[in-house]
Chains A and B, each alone.
Chain A
């Protein structure tokens, strides 16, 4: 019961924010001189209009959800991991290379690739954690820097030693995986693949870990009050390092699943251009780091994005409608737009607020 209550509580704020986000979206649509209702209808159709679009939304939600889950764990432990992008890319490239070059039957390839992706993402993230623990280099900075190094390194790998040289155009990408190593689609001809099931299972697993295991309790304690947690005998560094490894592992898994289930090869930029990492960060914040909430918020954000694609196809309104709505959403969430804040505001005697 408590879990359900907590879930409801973590959903009230996002709903309020969604409404305000949509209202702001309406403003900018009006500024471009398009019909607001018509545009939102297109958006709905683009995201949920028929089964094909709905499955595309779920496919897009898959990497976002996995990244968001990893970040949820990190945030709960009070560590700010901004390196999801690099961890995802490094996990994806290692997994791709294993899936291409491991001489084994398809299913073994898939499993080996998944494990490689998880381990590569996790270790890359752990490195930042280790630098914080040992040399006191702030995580915030090291994770951000390691992103660039990972993305550039992967870009080098696919544009020189492991480039697909068979095609006529020399694109920066690896060769195609053989069919046996593809993650199966959930429905024939639809874009959603079994990675989505992996993400849902991961969310439930993480929920269970946070709620019912001693490790989850330690993470929660550390996030709430690090000093008290340490006083209570929790080894801060150990939990931080585990949290970093786990969040990097989730990001690596996200990249791997996206390659094995959607692209079937590592294409330079295919994981960074859609902004999966930052969207995942938003999904976590929207869900207030609740793993079950993350399922809904990542589908919601993915729906904004696939919906906006539909909008761009059929109207004059640009794709960036999704960015505007998402940004306003996050601004409102981050302002802790809660009752306590309203009360405080009343006490002070209403100060004006000007959010775009």
Chain B
């Protein structure tokens, strides 16, 4: 077993059968990538439609407010369930985890394939929104009593959540087993990549909290179609129960998204700053496990005005403020890794730095939200979408796109277009800040959220228009980013095994793109090996020997 293994791998040719029936983690990862970016595109178009509608007072492109509600539903549901969670716990987990821990594949390859296809079926179900006569109009939260009495199709929402949720649970079972039992010899717990720790904890959160969301959305469909009375106040039920169950999952879901995003940023920062991770153990035990410990007990800060008892609000104010400590540790880790590093601003690194900026704004604007006395005044205004778009949408999207740039050479065996990549970053960064900073400004001045039209606030029309222009800049940036990838796929120069000079296993031990089975032989790691062994900021010019590529 040596070179013969490599040379016999399929040369060039594309086989549809080997893609749609694949059980290989790298190909499944790419299927996740396609599905999640497709969801991102459609949900992004919904956002553009909403922004265009809001650019002027009165009906702009639709006369029917319910159409706006459907856009709002699809934008939220597809962005979170169809794009962010599958991109991070699907694509990145699949592509990185076996490569980083030195495994041939995940523990259950067929179950992995089932996960990705259940996710695709969830996307199909979500897209039925545009086909059925009664599309769901219940936002991505599906609060009763509206979701129970609406004419819209609540069942589609329920089953979209259930299919993608089941896919997540199957993925969680698979990856927890893989990470615990399939690490290469010498890959001890203290030497794992930051990303592995982040994805491990993200899946622990998924396993614990997704089922509770499953029960919540099942109960609204039971209420609507089978006549149960869980949330029907006239029959002794209570709608606040749903809000508790929903946010009991959906707040930890923020950490399911944030932790892998942070993990990607750690990988990028360590590689491009040529530096060891700053305070590895502190971040691991204080930051990552701290988020896991606190993440499940802060959900009620979404419910301050929903009619929960005061003592409950008080506890959750305290706990929510407390969780800024582990998250702060995670941020300090990134900045500390940059400190005295030999920083090289390639496109992925620009996204990492952008992440730090955007997440800082998102995090700091979250602190006033945590205090119930302030929250009462800013809830239901544009401040809230501004805040959560910074903290979830923007920073995490920067991590996802930056991570895609970072892994692009390994995945495709070619380099993306560096100039277009940097241009795309600038457009996206500028557009995102115009859009969402002004959204927060408008919120402080009193613009209520979720409004389809605002004839009572003519003074806001100017800023609304600016926000819409900002969103068009984001669209332009997205097109440029896509162009840099398409150019890379078609005309890009061949990538060597380790174009970044990283020390991590997926770059040093396998060619780009990796062959079936990943490694020629099981990697044996020595005592002093570390994925971040850079000798603290000294740039070494060697880029690592070029391993034999899998495809000629």
Binding partners A and B: no
